[in-house]
Structure 1
Amino acid sequence: MTVSDRDRLHSQLSRLEDMFPGYLTEIVEGSIVMNPVRPVHGKSIQRLWSIVEDQLPPGWALVSDVAFPFDDANEFCPDLAVIPAEAEAENRSEYSPDLIEFVAEVVSPSSIRRDYEVKPRWYASRGIANYLVLDPLKGHCVTMWNPGPDGYRGRDTIPYGADLTVDSSLGKLTVATAGLPVDPKVRDQS
């Protein structure tokens, strides 16, 4: 796929998002995927953003829902990614995945397989050292580290309520999970 083909496809995806407000659009395994964004999803991203932003060393910035093309069939829009502040200041709609230092996704009912199986392989293959999955459907987070060509070799699951410390190249990032929102269906089962 040429740069102009990718630009044209990205432009088409942007129009789709404009036509369907409240949906996040990505290209995953060659398919255009649209996910409805729910309040719990948005709140999870906002709270994680606040927690991580205060701990970032100088020279790093957060982005959310911008495109990172991995190849012709996979263009992800992470819920949260840490990239160099210099790149973020360019205010682009698309960045190289090689810029990502830390990435996080929030699970929604339609993204379970993508967030737990597909994206970890791609993120790890690019050497992204830390991948964090917030799962408001189960009330836990999963931290993945030690990237390899087939995925992450380290993985821990932490129930919401405990503090999670991610030892990253950005320093130790502590996520207080007690304040993260949980899907109402999970609360109802408690």
Structure 2
Amino acid sequence: MTVSGIDRLHSQLSKLEDMFPGFLTEIVEGSIVMNPVRPFHGKTIQRLWSIVEGQLPEGWALVSDVAFPFDDANEFCPDLAVIPAEAEAENRSAYPADLIELVAEVVSPESVRRDYEMKPRWYASRGIANYLVLDPLKGHVVTMWNPGPDGYRGRDTISYGPELAIDSSLGKLSIPTARLPVDPKARS
């Protein structure tokens, strides 16, 4: 995709976000998708950010809800992505998807299919080594690794509670999952 194509897509999304505050907007398989943002969604992102940020090696940085165009029909705004600090310092609204080293999505009722089925194929196809799906609706995290052309070959589901150790190209990351919020409806 050309830079002008990326700029055009991002311009379209920015207009929609301005018209519908409180919604996250992405382009997924050619469709514009809008999800309402919920408190547990934001709280999960904030906690994960604070946990991961101090563990990143020098030269890496976190970004949240910025655009990563994959092609003309797919532009994702990951809840959390690790990219080179040099790129993050450019303070852009969109970056090439190939910069992502690790990505995390937080599930909302409207994003279940996209986060568990659609996005793993796209993230894996770009060689993103680790994909985390944090699910406050079910109280678990799904880790995916070993990317291939059709998706991730490795997958584990861990209930919130124990410390999660992720072996990544960034080094070993530890995430104390007991600190992550769980939707009260998931407990009933």
User: Which TM-score band (shorter chain)?
Assistant: over 0.9
| In 2: Cα distance, 1:12 partner to 1:126 partner | 24
Specify the code of the residue in structure 2 equivalent to 1:98: D
TM superposition shift of 1:5: 4.3
**Structure-2 change in CA distance of 1:61 and 1:2 (3 Å):** closer
CA shift at 1:3, angstroms?
3.9
**Deviations 1:41-100 (CA, angstroms, capped at 9, x unpaired):** 000000000000010000000000000000110000000000000000000000011100
Question: Partner of 2:162 in structure 1?
Answer: 162
Ranges in structure 1 where 5+ consecutive residues have no aligned partner: none
- The amino acid of 1:111's aligned partner reads S
Contact kept, 8 Å, 2:5 with 2:72, in 1: the verdict is no
Aligned length: 188
Counterpart code for 2:49: W
Show CA shifts across 1:119-165 (max 9, x none): 00000010000000000010000000000000000000000011101
Structure 2: any 5+ residue segments left out of the alignment? none
Equivalence for 1:29? 29
**Percent identity between the two aligned chains:** 86
2:5, 2:167 → 1: CA distance?
39
Q: Residue type of the partner of 1:115?
A: D
Q: 1:148 and 2:148 equivalent? A: yes
Residue 138 of structure 1: aligned partner: 138
Could you tell me which amino acid in structure 1 is paired with residue 185 of structure 2?
K
Aligned to 2:7: 7
Partners of 1:49 and 1:6 in 2: how far apart? 26
CA–CA distance in 2 between the matches of 1:92 and 1:7?
11
Match of 1:113 in 2: 113
Tell me how far apart the structure 1 counterparts of residues 164 and 19 of structure 2 sit (CA, whole Å).
38
1:176 partner letter: P
Where 2:69 maps in the other structure, the secondary structure is: strand
2:58 — aligned with what?
Answer: 58
1:79 and 2:92 aligned? no
Aligned residue for 1:93?
93
Aligned to 2:178: 178
CA distance in 1, matches of 2:118, 2:141: 17
Aligned partners of 2:39 and 2:168: how far apart in 1?
29
Report the 3-state secondary structure (helix = DSSP H, G, I; strand = E; otherwise coil) of the residue aligned with 1:90.
Answer: coil
| TM-score where L is the length of structure 2 | 0.97
Q: Which runs of 4+ in 1 moved over 4 A?
A: none
Q: Which residue of structure 2 aligns with residue 47 of structure 1? A: 47
CA distance in 2, matches of 1:130, 1:140: 16
RMSD across aligned positions (CA): 1.0
In 1, the alpha carbon distance for the partners of 2:72 and 2:57 equals 33
Q: Which amino acid aligns with 1:13?
A: L
1 CA distance for matches of 2:52 and 2:6? 31
Aligned-pair CA distance for 1:112? 0.4
1:29 alignment partner AA: E
How much has 1:6 moved relative to structure 2? 3.7
